[in-house]
């Protein structure tokens, strides 16, 4: 990366906003400190102001150019535009669209794969300590972040794992990806982390004038392919001719819902020996190995028994509810709760063969109290990125579950909720972390909790 000469007076760039206090464009020579949650590292200016710097690694010396912030702000955001002293963990980014001001989809293209997992582990450990007061040992975690099967590749190679890709469309009709924290589009010829089933559609090779976005989906459990088109206001839908057969959906201009144009309105996925129908808007893990990996981690942690009663909260299309139902048997019972209408329809379809499974629609914090359930043997919760929250955790802590499995895609939300569970009398028995989003800062965790009085 080449930088403009550093301004000795730390002046503003010519294209920076006219505000007297804006620091956008100002450059600082800094020594980079530890990794922080969000795909950046921490540095400080000579004046002590915190910089969140992307495209760098701990221990490096870089020229950091401010991308957001002003004088007196609590922190500034910046890009490392020139590396003066590099880390041994640095590699040349394999993707030609990675780097300052370019595509925002990946955070760690410039880091060796092992270093990426180590950085994610450091973030998890920091969040656990800061928000839950837990050391890795107290969380039953060995500190490692495990790669998915097939993802352990040499430095410079990128796993093609993303089975759902949301493309934006620029003013010229080119498909691309959003730049970091921006609505601007980076046109691309190929996304390196896109799964083969997405890449083979050839989305980037055609004109998408009139479209605001295109979502491409390639199921990993079948040959199903789907594109979801979101037209700009008043635009007509194009005739979709891609390199492979696909079903086509469109986002309604008035209702925002997803409507079938032709083909199946769902894709079929596989996990735990079962096929799951996943409609547009229904949640399924993006990495092809994620659903099976997380399902096994949850079942191994919970050790369901015949006759158990179980809750699957934020259940999506029923992945964990199905695995639980298989294991608790005819005398057990499973209740799933999910807010998405289409996901609930899919879950009920997917689990129709189980007489003792019930799926309720609505927000967990509203539906669960209305069920009248006062106890459960096992609980699984896989909340959205914001976490479950204090009210829901307090309610769950009062149900007397033998074990609780918490699946989390955000370590900060996980740590906060683990703190609430501790207040409710639960402790973490084990924690496992999985690198199911290579090249990005995201990481998936599975925490198994049990009543604190049980001891280890």
Active site residues: 409
Cα–Cα distance between 413 and 445 in angstroms, integer?
11
CB contact at 8 A, 335 and 324: no
In angstroms, the CA 136 to CA 416 distance is 15
Contacts of 377 (CB under 8 A, 6+ apart): 305, 308, 309, 310, 401, 402
Got the DSSP string for 311-357? Answer: EEES-TTTHHHHHHHHHH-TT-EEEEEES-HHHHHHHHHHTTT-TTE
Under a CB-based contact definition with an 8 Å cutoff, are residues 286 and 164 in contact? yes
For residue 371, the tally of other CB atoms under 10 A from its CB is 12
337 dihedral zone (left: phi>0; alpha: psi -120 to 50; beta):
beta
CB environment 193-227: b (16+ within 10 A), e (fewer): bbbebbbebebbebebebbebbbbbbbbbeebbbb
3-state class (DSSP) for residue 197: helix
Helix or strand (DSSP H, E) at 365: helix 364-371
Residues 268, 271, 274: CA angle, nearest 5 degrees = 70
Helix crossing, 290-302 with 319-328: angle to 10°?
Answer: 40
Number of neighbours of residue 155 by Cβ within 10 angstroms = 14
Q: How many helices (H) and strands (E) does the chain have?
A: 8, 23
**What residue has token string 């010396």?**
61
At 369, which helix (H) or strand (E)?
helix 364-371
DSSP annotation string for 391-410: HHHHHHHTT--SEEEEEES-
CA–CA distance, 391 with 179 (Å, rounded to integer): 36
């Amino acid at each position: 990366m080449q930088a403009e000469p550093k301004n000795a007076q730390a002046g503003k760039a010519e294209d920076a906003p006219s505000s007297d206090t804006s620091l956008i464009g100002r450059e600082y020579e800094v020594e980079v400190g530890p990794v922080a949650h969000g795909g950046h590292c921490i540095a400080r200016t000579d004046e002590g102001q915190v910089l969140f710097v992307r495209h760098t690694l701990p221990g490096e010396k870089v020229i950091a150019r401010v991308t957001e912030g002003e004088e007196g702000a609590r922190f500034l955001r910046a890009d490392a535009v020139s590396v003066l002293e590099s880390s041994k963990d640095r590699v040349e980014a394999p993707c030609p669209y990675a780097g300052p001001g370019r595509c925002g989809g990946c955070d760690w293209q410039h880091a060796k794969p092992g270093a990426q997992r180590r950085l994610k582990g450091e973030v998890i450990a920091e969040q656990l300590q800061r928000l839950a007061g837990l050391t890795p040992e107290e969380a039953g975690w060995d500190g490692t972040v495990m790669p998915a099967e097939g993802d352990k590749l040499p430095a410079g190679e990128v796993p093609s794992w993303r089975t759902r890709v949301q493309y934006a469309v620029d003013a010229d009709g080119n498909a691309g990806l959003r730049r970091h924290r921006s609505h601007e589009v980076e046109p691309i010829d190929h996304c390196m982390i896109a799964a083969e089933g997405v890449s083979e559609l050839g989305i980037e090779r055609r004109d998408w004038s009139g479209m605001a976005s295109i979502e491409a989906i390639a199921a990993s459990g079948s040959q199903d392919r789907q594109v979801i088109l979101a037209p700009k206001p008043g635009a007509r839908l194009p005739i979709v001719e891609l390199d492979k057969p696909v079903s086509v959906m469109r986002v309604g201009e008035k209702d925002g819902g997803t409507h079938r144009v032709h083909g199946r309105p769902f894709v079929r996925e596989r996990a735990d020996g079962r096929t799951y129908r996943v409609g547009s808007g229904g949640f399924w893990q993006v990495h092809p190995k994620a659903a099976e990996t997380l399902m096994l981690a949850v079942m191994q942690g919970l050790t369901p028994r015949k006759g158990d009663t179980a809750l699957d909260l934020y259940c999506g299309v029923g992945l964990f509810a199905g695995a639980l139902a298989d294991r608790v048997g005819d005398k057990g019972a499973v209740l799933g709760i999910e807010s998405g209408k289409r996901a609930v329809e899919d879950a009920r379809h997917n689990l129709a063969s189980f007489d003792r499974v019930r799926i309720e629609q609505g927000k967990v914090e509203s539906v669960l109290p209305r069920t009248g359930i006062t106890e459960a043997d096992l609980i699984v919760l896989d909340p959205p990125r914001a976490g479950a929250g204090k009210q829901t955790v307090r309610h769950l802590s009062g149900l007397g579950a033998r074990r609780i499995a918490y699946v989390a895609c955000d370590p900060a939300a996980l740590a906060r909720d683990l703190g609430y569970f501790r207040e409710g009398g639960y402790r973490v028995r084990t924690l496992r972390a999985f690198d199911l989003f290579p090249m990005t800062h995201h990481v998936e965790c599975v925490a198994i909790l049990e009543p604190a009085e049980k001891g280890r």
